[in-house]
Amino acid sequence: EDGLVLGKWRRVLDAYIDAMSGLSPQNIFELGIFRGGSAAFFNEWLNPEKLVAIDYMQAPTDGFKAYLESAPNAGRIRPYFGIDQADKQKLGSICSREFGDALLDLVIDDASHLLDKTKTSFNFLFPRVKAGGLYVIEDWSWAHMDDPDGVFRQRFHAEPAMSNLVIEIMLASARRPDLIPEVRVFPSCAFIRRGEGETGEDFDISRESFHRGLPIGGSDLFDR
């Protein structure tokens, strides 16, 4: 119960293996690490220079603490607990402390799975990803999956679908291929590649999503 738990389906790992082929990310920012297994996995697999991980949990599990204290490469991980992924002030402070002016190679969001919080993190961190780097959003499809036991309905019954954000990103890619040259969508995760385009101050992906010349971002596309 206190050991490391990865908490990712095999198809998600296969998607990572596919999307990460040929890449060697050195600066990684991970949002949401559950019992620490994902941070340990990405640390051992990708061999980064630094992996910063945040989680809403207040403290690490015993299993993750044991890994941090004993694994030869665990010193590359910088965990922060009790952090809300939508707290831009804390995200900025952590980025400045850990990375300085260096850009991020890879951001992985497996945190709240809530649209507003996930979008806030994306708007803040995507501009900090270097050209050619990746931003990953996991479990974007929870509102569209079979839910025979009612798990998603119970947990997210009042929440708009995460797919709203993925659709906005795809539409922004059509309008701004300089900023988002590629979006790869798998059943449980989406990989967004950062281009060389400028984001400007106060970046908001909703302002980059248009239909027939009119902005459509920021609303619930499934609210009917």
**CA-to-CA separations, 175 to 80, 163, 169, 187, in angstroms, rounded:** 36, 19, 10, 24
In tens, the pLDDT along 110-136 reads 999 999 999 999 999 999 999 999 999
pTM of the entire predicted model: 0.94
Q: What is the pLDDT of residue 1?
A: 55
Into which CATH architecture does domain 10-215 fall? 3-Layer(aba) Sandwich (3.40)
Each residue of 77-113: b (16+ CB within 10 Å) or e?
bbbbeebebbbeeebeebbeeebeeeebbbbbbbbbb
CA–CA distances in Å: residue 152 to residues 56, 68, 115, 183, 204: 19, 32, 14, 25, 27
Q: Where along the chain do its domains lie? A: 10-215
What are the tens digits of pLDDT across the range 80-102? 999 999 999 999 999 999 999 99
pLDDT of 13-48, one tens digit each?
A: 999 999 999 999 999 999 999 899 999 999 999 999
